[in-house]
Amino acid sequence: MFLHTHPYEPFLFPEATKLIVGTLPPPRFTTGDLKPDDVDFCYGSRNGMLWPILDRIFNLQLKFENNQQAVLQRKNFLLKQKIAVCDIVESAERMKVDASDLGMQNVCLRDIIGHLENYEEIKTILFMGGNSKNGPEYFFRKSIKAHHIKLRTVSDQVPRIYSFELPKTKRTIETVSLTAPSGAANRAVGSLDAYKYQKSLNVAYNTLDFRVDQYRQFFIS
C-alpha cells in the first residue's frame, strides 16, 4: 500500500480573496521523482492544465520547467491576484501508484473550514472538479457535515455554484465547481451542450479552450 501524502503546505496569506481547492498531485510529487517539465509547486504536473489555462487568461509567459524561477512565477502570480491554494486531501493510501482520485483509500482531509474562518478575506472557493466520487467538492461535502453546514444552490448549470455560511464568523462563502483541469475530464467536457455549441461554431475549438473560457469568468473578478 502506497501512502500518498500531499507534498505542499497550504499556500495561504491574509490578503487572499479566492481559494483553489483540489485533491492531490500525482504520486511522483510525493516521492520527488519529478519530470524535467514538471514544476515543483501546486498543480505543477506536466500533464495538468491549471497553469496553462491561467497562462492564457493572464498572459503570464510562464516557464514550464523544474526550477525555482518557474515556482516563483507561480507564487508571485497568486500573491498579486490574491489567490490562495489549499487542497483538501492531506494523505491517502493507494493500492496502485497513480493519480486517480477513485484510487484513494483511507483519506485524511485538511480543515478547509478552519482555514476559511482564519483567513477572513476569502470569499470564494474554486474547486478543481465537481462532486464525482473522491473529487474536491465530494470531500468538501463530507467534511462540512460535522459543522452542520448545508450548501445552497446558486446555479445548477456547469460550473455549479453554491453558497454557505461559516459557523463562527457567519461570513457567506461561494463555491464554484470548475471543470477539472486534467485529461480525465475531457470526455465529460465533450458531452456538454455548451462545448458542442462552441465546437459547431469553430471546429478548432478544444477542451482546453473550453476551460479557458470557463475559468476566465471566475478568476477575473
pLDDT at residue 117, as a whole number:
97
| CA contacts within 13 A on the Cβ side of 118 | 8
pTM for the full predicted model:
0.96
197 pLDDT higher than 90: yes
How does pLDDT run across 12-52, given as a tens digit for each residue?
999 999 999 999 999 999 999 999 999 999 999 999 999 99
| CA contacts within 13 A on the Cβ side of 204 | 0
pLDDT at residue 37, as a whole number:
96
How does pLDDT run across 78-104, given as a tens digit for each residue?
999 999 999 999 999 998 777 777 778
Nearest Cα neighbor of 37 from 59, 23, 20, 52 is: 52
The full set of domains in the chain, from first to last, is 2-185 (3.40.470.10)
